Structure 1
Amino acid sequence: MKIAFIINQTHKEKASFTTTLLAYKALLRGHSVYYIGLADFVYLDQDKIAAHARAVHQIDGIADTDQLIDKLRSTAKEKISLRELDIIWLRFDPVLDMINRPWAASMGLQFAQLAQNLGVRVLNNPRALVDAENKLYLENFPEEIRPRTIVTRSYDDVKQFFEEQNNKIILKPLKGSGGKNVFLVNEQESKNLKQIVEVICRDGYLIAQEYLPEAQYGDIRFFLLNGKPLLVNGKYASVHRVQSAGELRSNIHQGAKAQVAEISPALLQMVQKVADKLMQDGMYLVGLDIIGDKIMEINVFSPGALLQASELNGEDYATAIIKNLEETTIKK
């Protein structure tokens, strides 16, 4: 198959990224991979949509993901018709371009929809991703699995919510990723509340959530594939991310430690409450961030930590995903 990964920019990709791992495993199984940046699309007419892509067709000479990244960066772009592709996989982070290239994410989704109209399989469904471009997407799911939340740009709204939540809340950008500008505000920090609200709201709306005491023990990144838990040899694709001392955020690149996650029946029951809608929305690969009995975030653009899940559990989840693609995609 010809599998294209839509990314922000090739030079920002890393060997440790889940996207790189998926591309490498696809090559190992004899597929061709293409990297297309958000600035690389070309519209000729409604039946002729193209892109300037970096292509790798063979695994020969590529021993690992580091070498794959080197190969991609040294490969000249070639113009290809999107109609020729079997799969277009949207693996970009809208937040990375929010300031310097605010047009990039919306154009990526628009071109993806045009490709979808041509009969190309697009993952995740770009029409649903338009509605999931920020953290408000979580509010479409059952109330019992969500933390209490408000979305606003008003300091007075935040102050009232802060008081209602016993003077302890989490504040973060509505459209954000990677743990940037995430704050825990308690009674001791309340004097800085107005300043924190102003900092976050420079770039848009903020989201305020109740503080969950279980957050001190980290969170669990849990993967779903086509609405079902990603399971290989009885082991769920998941990571328990434990933040370092004095750190609020559980992101691996922010210093959190990855540990084997204990997956309880209660967690699986909670996951089941979001699975049907995710499948209906065409969300093929999803990463849930879970604290206690609540889902804090639903990551649908480029969920990461699959490499850590594979290493911790000793299972090859990326190959399982590629095999699933082979079984569910009609080849041209």
Structure 2
Amino acid sequence: MRLAFLVNDIATEIDEYTTTRLARAAAQGGHEVWYLGVGDVELGEQNGQLLARGRTATFAGGDTLRTFLARIQEGDAERIVLDDLDAVVLRNESIDDLQERPWASPLGAVFGQMLKARGVVVVNDPMSLIRATSKLYLEEFPEKIRPRSLVTRDPDAIERFVRTVGHSVVKPLYGAKGRNVFMIKDADETNLAQMTEAVLQDGYAIVQEFIDGGERGDARIFVLEGRILERDGKLAAFRRVPTGNDPRANISTGGRSVPLEVSDVELAVVDAMSEKLIADGMFLVGLDVIGDKVLEINAESPGGMQSVERLYDVDVCPSVIEALERRTQSIR
């Protein structure tokens, strides 16, 4: 299988993260693997082919994640024809580019859609990703598995919602890594106006009812082709616990990961979402779950595989690559 991982910028990739682990698993499995940045693509002047300045990703015996990625980043770029690839894995985060490189923000999905139309397997589905980048995507799923919520740019509407619902969480509709996420105890919250103002600087706000148990963190569950990702009988899921008084459990904000014993409650949540995730071409997603409610669907570049490996001593990434290989073979 010839496949490429499309990232924001090869130079800024981090060795511990999930993309590196997926690429290493593919290279270890004998596949031809490339890294591309959003700014490395080119549309052929005469023949209309999509080309790119790619960096090859090869595995050498004894490679650590650090040495594997360093060899990619230090290697010379080569021109490759993207039309000839079997698969492209979209791992760029458009939100990261939105402020400093707005030109780059939509292009992962744009290039992905072009390649899909040319017969290349692209995951996750680029058109569905455009919807899933917004937290509005969660509203398309059954009401029973999502918290009561409001999407608005009206501060007064936010106050009315909190006054009606009580304990709530407000955050940007487009956001990641726990930025500008605030917990509101009630409508008499002293800093409600300042919290609302900070969130609305990023556009629309989404306000969700606070789910009981949220103060103890949430569960990150990886779902591959509509089922919980697993390897050697171990499920790719863990609990993220906030640090100190910070309500955010994101690992990027200092939260820590602990083992999670997946119960019938989490299995029922995934089952309720499975059919639509498959229909939307959501090959691999990360669900953030508290109890029987999903707070977010991480579809663009779901991360946390390092926590799975550390907690359960298993590398689940080969299961992802094997599923991708089966998908490419099914359309040949």
TM range (shorter): over 0.9
Gaps of 5+ in 2: none
User: Aligned in 2, Cα 1:219/1:290: closer, same or farther, shift over 3 Å?
Assistant: same
> Does 2:52 match 1:51?
yes
- For residues 210 and 265 of structure 1, the distance between their equivalents in structure 2, rounded to whole angstroms, comes to 23
- Which residue identity lines up with residue 15 of structure 2 in the other structure? A
Q: Once the 2 structures are TM-superposed, how far is the Cα of residue 69 of structure 1 from its aligned partner?
A: 1.6
Is the CA contact 1:239–1:305 (under 8 Å) kept in the aligned structure 2?
A: no
- Which residue identity lines up with residue 143 of structure 2 in the other structure? E
> Does 2:6 match 1:6?
yes
1:108-257 superposed matches below 5 A = 108-166=108-166, 168-187=167-186, 190-257=189-256
**Higher mean C-alpha deviation, range 254-263 or range 229-238:** 229-238
1:26-65 superposed matches below 5 A = 26-44=26-44, 47-56=48-57, 58-60=58-60, 63-65=63-65
> How many residue pairs align between the two structures?
330
Q: Once the 2 structures are TM-superposed, how far is the Cα of residue 196 of structure 1 from its aligned partner?
A: 1.4
Match of 2:281 in 1: 282
Q: Once the 2 structures are TM-superposed, how far is the Cα of residue 312 of structure 1 from its aligned partner?
A: 1.2
Match of 1:259 in 2: 258
Deviation per residue, 1:261-292 (Å, 9 max, x gap): 01111210111000110000001001000011
Q: Once the 2 structures are TM-superposed, how far is the Cα of residue 318 of structure 1 from its aligned partner?
A: 0.5
Q: SS at the partner of 1:240?
A: strand
- Please report the TM-score for the alignment, with normalisation by the length of structure 2: 0.95
* Percentage of matched positions with identical amino acids: 37
Is the CA contact 2:265–2:291 (under 8 Å) kept in the aligned structure 1?
A: no
- For residues 189 and 29 of structure 2, the distance between their equivalents in structure 1, rounded to whole angstroms, comes to 55
- For residues 161 and 190 of structure 1, the distance between their equivalents in structure 2, rounded to whole angstroms, comes to 13
Is the CA contact 2:163–2:187 (under 8 Å) kept in the aligned structure 1?
A: no
Q: SS at the partner of 1:191?
A: coil
- For residues 275 and 168 of structure 2, the distance between their equivalents in structure 1, rounded to whole angstroms, comes to 30
- For residues 108 and 62 of structure 2, the distance between their equivalents in structure 1, rounded to whole angstroms, comes to 29
Q: Once the 2 structures are TM-superposed, how far is the Cα of residue 104 of structure 1 from its aligned partner?
A: 1.3
Please identify runs of 4+ aligned residues in structure 1 that moved more than 4 A: none
Q: How big is the alpha-carbon RMSD for the aligned residues of Structure 1 and Structure 2?
A: 1.7
Is the CA contact 2:163–2:186 (under 8 Å) kept in the aligned structure 1?
A: no
- Please report the TM-score for the alignment, with normalisation by the length of structure 1: 0.95
Is the CA contact 1:147–1:209 (under 8 Å) kept in the aligned structure 2?
A: yes
- For residues 130 and 95 of structure 2, the distance between their equivalents in structure 1, rounded to whole angstroms, comes to 14
Q: SS at the partner of 2:122?
A: strand
- For residues 95 and 328 of structure 1, the distance between their equivalents in structure 2, rounded to whole angstroms, comes to 28
- For residues 62 and 48 of structure 1, the distance between their equivalents in structure 2, rounded to whole angstroms, comes to 37
Gaps of 5+ in 1: none
**Higher mean C-alpha deviation, range 179-188 or range 63-72:** 179-188
Q: Once the 2 structures are TM-superposed, how far is the Cα of residue 149 of structure 1 from its aligned partner?
A: 0.6
Is the CA contact 2:226–2:270 (under 8 Å) kept in the aligned structure 1?
A: no
Deviation per residue, 1:88-131 (Å, 9 max, x gap): 00011111011111221312211111111111110001011122
> Does 2:269 match 1:270?
yes
Is the CA contact 1:47–1:118 (under 8 Å) kept in the aligned structure 2?
A: no
Is the CA contact 1:54–1:78 (under 8 Å) kept in the aligned structure 2?
A: yes
Q: Once the 2 structures are TM-superposed, how far is the Cα of residue 175 of structure 1 from its aligned partner?
A: 0.4
Deviation per residue, 1:150-193 (Å, 9 max, x gap): 11111001010010112x21011100011111111224972211
